[in-house]
Amino acid sequence: MDLPPGYTLHPEAPDVESYRRLRAVSGLTPRSAAAAEAGLPHGVHAVTIRHQQRAVGMGRIVGDGALFLHIVDIAVDPAHQGRGLGKAVMAALMAHIRAHAPAEVHVSLIADGEARHLYAQFGFAPVMPDSIGMALWIKPD
């Protein structure tokens, strides 16, 4: 997928500061520097979109790399939204999955709000009523 002029896609996770900033400005739950430092190196694959050397979009794949993969941290700085960057992030992540994962891999994600329309373009569909997503947040006291 082509990016608008001035944007570049890099097959790497953003640095900790950029990761935390992108999560915050895009409305995702903030993460501590310690959690980001511990988690970012252990993803299966990640992409970062840069504009003038600054990270403005990102997405990651986590999981075991063969049986289960989960797409997380899809975020685009609001100042750069509406340019197809989220779609470019998803296209890059899905291209990686199709090129490297076995045919039977289960890929999941959690769609917040209107983001479900973006994910539907890549074949993702609600799992209800057969399944229901569940979550548990473990937070420091």
Encode pLDDT of 30-41 as tens digits.
999 999 999 999
pLDDT for position 102: 87
Considering the domain boundaries, does residue 78 fall inside one?
Answer: yes
The owner of tokens 């039977």 is 104
* Residue 21 located in a structural domain: yes
| CATH code of residue 75 | 3.40.630.30
Q: For residue 114, what are the domain limits?
A: 7-120
Query: What's the Cα-to-Cα distance from 48 to each of 7, 53, 76, 99, rounded to whole Å?
Result: 10, 11, 10, 19
Residue 132 is assigned to a structural domain of this protein: no
Segment 56-83 shows an average pLDDT of: 97
Can you tell me the distance from the alpha carbon of 5 to that of 37, in angstroms, rounded to the nearest whole number? 31
Cα atoms found within 13 Å of the Cα of residue 90, Cβ hemisphere only: 21
Average pLDDT, the chain: 95
Q: Is residue 49 part of a domain?
A: yes
* Structural domains counted in the chain: 1
In a domain, 71, yes or no: yes
